[in-house]
């Protein structure tokens, strides 16, 4: 099981500041160590070359032979100040051993073509006596009356002093850089803590609030970066406050509306028990009251379900004609009872993004209202088509044209309010929730609904209920929608 660092903003900010600096410091320490080690090697290589030259200058040709005598004083000079061990070997012009340490491995490498120094010298690492040594091999020209050639002087030094100096430098560098990282981390921690103080203040302001307090947050002195957060939170709380107020109003209205049919039903039962009304008349009245109560309860559930469907179900690409045909077929018995001249114009597919249940509920409420308002034998037309809009995107339109008395301006302004009916006959057949459900569905689908009198408000010739919804693109519809099927109108 791996341990994970806490995913807090403080740790993320500190990690975002300290980790890159630490990585850069580590790289800088490594590169500094490499450069200094190279400088140390160069300095000690110069010392090796000076030692080899000092020995080479002691070579003397004697007849056909080459002789060298390295006095003890000379050895003290080029070993002075060195803490490591140094050995040497001198080979003659024919490769014979002349002086020094005979067990020092002879030079068998290819001399460099372009040496870095003004001498034919080669520096390399080798093993001697079980230790790693740094070797300098210098070709020393010699010339005498009878002998001319090139001798080889090898000087080797153990790497103890170089490694000790490099380690000391590395430790010093790491300590200095570690101190710098610690200072940066401490400063970053203080700066991050001060920068997050407004976030903590905002958290405290929210957590200390009463659960019923949905007023706007007032936190003066917030940084510019946090102001959009408070604005979004205030917008959210404003929407929640509106939603809660709407729900409270709905509960109050619903409780009142549900008490009404129950009170009427109780009165009807009492009348039946008292014998003032006949048994059949009492049962018929109770049947009508129960029907109205069931219709009211169903529409209340439908109004609550709109928000639930919108929140839980993803919209799909649908042909608006399909739910309209289904609802028209379901309500065909009501249309037939009034012998309406019904016409359904839904021949071409009209694609929208929505929920099938919402579209069926929208059509059912509009068509049910139109059937109730249309006189017996009068025309009733339902059409589905596409229309152009002021913007580039087309719109899908559902229009229900009844032949009823229409609506005056005063009643039409209140029809979208829950439990407000537009009937003038004094009947209680409507619950006043149908158009409220229609408007909420249109808002959730990004559309709008209009009630337009044909003729004028004083002399209407029927009512048009017009719903416009954003149309889906044909490319999306062709890949997600079922094939279109024609259906005859009832």
Examine residue 39 and state whether it is found in any structural domain, yes or no: yes
**Please, is 465 exposed, middle or buried when counting C-beta atoms within 10 Å of its C-beta (0-12, 13-18, 19+)?**
buried
Q: 37 is in which domain, residue-wise? A: 9-168
My answer on whether 414 and 287 are in the same domain is: no
**Of 294, 312, 330, which residue sits at a domain end?**
312
**Please, is 248 exposed, middle or buried when counting C-beta atoms within 10 Å of its C-beta (0-12, 13-18, 19+)?**
exposed
**Of 136, 168, 200, which residue sits at a domain end?**
168
The CA distance from 250 to 308, in Å, is 16
Examine residue 175 and state whether it is found in any structural domain, yes or no: no
Write out the chain's pLDDT in tens, 490 residues.
454 545 677 788 888 888 888 888 888 888 888 888 888 888 888 888 888 888 888 888 888 788 888 776 555 544 545 456 788 889 888 888 888 888 888 888 888 777 667 678 888 888 888 888 888 899 888 888 888 888 899 998 888 878 788 888 888 888 888 898 889 888 888 888 888 888 888 888 888 888 778 888 777 777 887 788 888 888 888 888 877 776 776 677 667 666 767 777 788 788 777 777 777 787 888 887 787 777 777 766 676 666 666 666 678 888 999 999 999 999 999 999 999 999 999 888 999 998 888 898 889 889 988 998 899 999 999 999 998 876 667 899 999 999 988 877 666 666 666 555 555 443 344 556 778 888 888 888 888 998 888 876 666 678 899 999 998 875 444 444 444 433 433 3
How much is the pLDDT for 259?
72
Q: What angle do CA 193, 198, 201 make, to 5 degrees?
A: 110
Inter-residue contact 472 to 399 (CB < 8 Å):
no
My answer on whether 410 and 322 are in the same domain is: yes
How much is the pLDDT for 440?
84
My answer on whether 317 and 284 are in the same domain is: no
Inter-residue contact 372 to 429 (CB < 8 Å):
yes
The CA distance from 229 to 74, in Å, is 82
What 3-state class would DSSP assign to 385?
A: strand
Inter-residue contact 352 to 320 (CB < 8 Å):
yes
Examine residue 41 and state whether it is found in any structural domain, yes or no: yes
My answer on whether 245 and 327 are in the same domain is: no
Examine residue 185 and state whether it is found in any structural domain, yes or no: no
Paired sense of beta strands 131-143 and 148-158, if any: antiparallel
My answer on whether 221 and 107 are in the same domain is: no
How many domains would you assign to the chain?
A: 3
Examine residue 179 and state whether it is found in any structural domain, yes or no: no
Inter-residue contact 150 to 111 (CB < 8 Å):
no
Examine residue 205 and state whether it is found in any structural domain, yes or no: no
**Of 288, 312, 336, which residue sits at a domain end?**
312
Which residues is 133 bridged to in the sheet?
126, 158
Ramachandran region of residue 201, left (φ > 0), alpha (ψ -120 to 50) or beta? Answer: alpha
Paired sense of beta strands 395-401 and 341-345, if any: unpaired
How much is the pLDDT for 482?
45
Examine residue 126 and state whether it is found in any structural domain, yes or no: yes
My answer on whether 31 and 57 are in the same domain is: yes
How much is the pLDDT for 322?
93
The CA distance from 173 to 186, in Å, is 20
CATH of residue 157: 3.30.450
Examine residue 196 and state whether it is found in any structural domain, yes or no: no
CATH of residue 367: 3.30.565.10
Q: What angle do CA 452, 442, 376 make, to 5 degrees?
A: 45
């Amino acid at each position: 099981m791996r341990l994970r660092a806490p995913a807090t903003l403080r740790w993320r900010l500190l990690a975002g500041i300290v980790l890159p600096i630490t990585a850069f410091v580590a790289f800088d320490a490594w590169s500094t160590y490499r450069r200094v080690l190279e400088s140390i090697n160069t300095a000690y290589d110069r010392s090796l070359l000076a030692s080899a030259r000092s020995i080479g200058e002691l070579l003397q040709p004697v007849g056909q032979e080459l002789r060298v005598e390295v006095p003890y004083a000379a050895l003290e000079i080029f070993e002075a100040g060195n803490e490591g061990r140094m050995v040497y070997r001198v080979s003659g012009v024919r490769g014979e051993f002349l002086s020094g340490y005979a067990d020092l491995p002879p030079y068998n490498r290819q001399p460099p073509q372009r040496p870095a120094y003004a001498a034919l010298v080669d520096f390399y690492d080798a093993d001697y006596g079980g230790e790693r040594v740094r070797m300098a091999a210098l070709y020393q020209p010699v010339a005498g009356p009878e002998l001319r050639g090139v001798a080889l002087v090898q000087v080797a030094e153990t790497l103890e002093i170089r490694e000790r100096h490099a380690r000391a430098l590395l430790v010093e560098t790491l300590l200095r850089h570690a101190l710098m990282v610690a200072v940066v981390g401490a400063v970053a921690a203080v700066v991050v803590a001060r920068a997050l103080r407004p976030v903590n203040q905002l958290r405290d302001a929210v957590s200390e609030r009463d659960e019923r307090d949905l007023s706007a947050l007032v936190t003066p002195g917030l940084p510019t970066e946090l102001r959009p957060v408070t604005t979004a939170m205030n917008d959210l709380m404003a929407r929640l406050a509106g939603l809660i107020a709407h729900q409270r109003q709905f509960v109050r209205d619903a409780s009142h509306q549900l008490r009404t049919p129950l009170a009427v039903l109780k009165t009807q039962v009492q009348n039946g028990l008292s014998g003032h009304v006949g048994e059949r008349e009492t049962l018929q009245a109770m049947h009508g009251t129960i029907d109205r109560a069931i219709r009211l309860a169903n529409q209340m559930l439908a109004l609550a379900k709109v928000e639930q469907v919108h929140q839980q179900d993803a919209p799909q690409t649908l042909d608006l004609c399909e739910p309209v045909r289904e609802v028209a077929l379901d309500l065909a018995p009501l249309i037939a009872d009034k012998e309406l001249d019904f016409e359904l114009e839904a021949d071409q597919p009209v694609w929208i993004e929505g929920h099938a249940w919402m579209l069926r509920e929208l059509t059912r409420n509009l068509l049910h209202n139109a059937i109730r308002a249309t006189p017996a034998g009068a025309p009733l037309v339902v059409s589905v088509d596409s229309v152009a809009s002021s913007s580039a995107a087309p719109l899908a339109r559902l229009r229900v044209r009844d032949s009823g008395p229409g609506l005056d301006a005063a009643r039409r302004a209140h029809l979208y309010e829950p439990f407000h009916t537009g009937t003038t006959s004094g009947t209680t057949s409507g619950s006043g929730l149908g158009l409220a459900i229609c408007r909420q569905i249109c808002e959730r689908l990004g559309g709008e609904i209009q009630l337009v009198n044909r003729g004028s408000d004083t002399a209407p010739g029927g009512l048009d209920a017009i719903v416009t919804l954003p149309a889906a693109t044909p490319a999306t519809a062709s890949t997600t929608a079922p094939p279109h099927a024609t259906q005859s109108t009832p």
